[in-house]
Homo-oligomer: A and B are copies of this chain.
Amino acid sequence: MPPVIGVFDSGFGGLTVLHELLRVLPEADYLYFGDTAHLPYGAKSAHTVAKYALSSTRFLEERGAEMLVIACNTATALALDEIRAGSSIPVTGVIEPGAERVAEISRAKRAAVIATEATVASHAYQKALTARGITAIEKACPLFVPLVEEGWVEHPVTEQVAHIYLDEIFQKEAHGADVLMLACTHYPLLRTVLRRVSPPEIQIVDSAESTANQVAALVQPCKQRCTSPQSGRLSCFATDSVEKFRHLGERFLGRPLEHVELIDIET
């Protein structure tokens, strides 16, 4: 039997991780939980994020998830240990897989990390990269998420904002870096623009892609046992407006979202 994988995020961004999971593990069943009533986690404290994340992952376990992917950089940065302590199934965050990929490909051993304010303030990527011998220069890019949600992924304004943020980082502290780490699940949608405004020697590492690859490696034995050629099922849950979830989510997932269930959980 293919595994049931629970994917959790504060909103829609984690659907870029699900998008990559569906690419590398199309036969698994997926339960996606977007805690949209409380988004964005990016500006909230560790205590608040841990409280919300745990309520959501417990729900996914109750619904049959056999492993959890915390497809949210802020929740991974601020609450991964608490989620692991409160779960009886394997939990994969988005930080370690991304950091491992950076360590594999960086020759300069120097990387720029772009993320939300809360992820940067947690220094979780810096810690994970330092532990692998990489010097990490972190920068918060708070306008990227709203620009993606406005749908301006290839817009001149977005390119101008990306220029301002990236020039600031590559011309100053991150001078000499050879990797740009996308440490927010919204950022894969900006990959084309970010490629265009980054210096040519910079390689882009996307934590959604790295995480999906690591989960695929984890379930490899079960994948070999699986004889079913069909695609897995996807059920989505959101704590706020199902219409908005469907509308925005389709853009992130790159396919139609048919079943989205509204959930009211106690926190």
Is B146 a contact of A157 with CB atoms below 8 Å?
Answer: no
Q: Does A88 contact B (CB under 8 A)?
A: no
Q: Does A1 contact B (CB under 8 A)?
A: no
C-alpha gap A239/B48 in the complex (Å): 9
The oligomer's copy count stands at: 2
- Residues of A in contact with B, size category: 20 to 34
Q: Would you give the shortest CB distance from A37 to chain B, in whole angstroms?
A: 5
C-alpha gap A95/B18 in the complex (Å): 41
Q: Would you give the shortest CB distance from A262 to chain B, in whole angstroms?
A: 9
Is A157 a contact of B147 with CB atoms below 8 Å?
Answer: no
* Interface residues, chain A, with chain B CB atoms under 8 Å away: 36-40, 43-45, 48, 142-143, 145-147, 149-150, 156-157, 160-161, 164, 239-241, 244, 267
C-alpha gap A38/B147 in the complex (Å): 21
C-alpha gap A267/B48 in the complex (Å): 13
Is A43 a contact of B39 with CB atoms below 8 Å?
Answer: yes
* Contact among B43, B45, B146, B239 with A142 in the assembled complex (CB-CB below 8 Å): B146
Task: Give the chain B neighbours of A239 by CB distance below 8 A.
Answer: 48
Known contacts A38-B38, A157-B160: A48-B149 contact under CB 8 Å: no
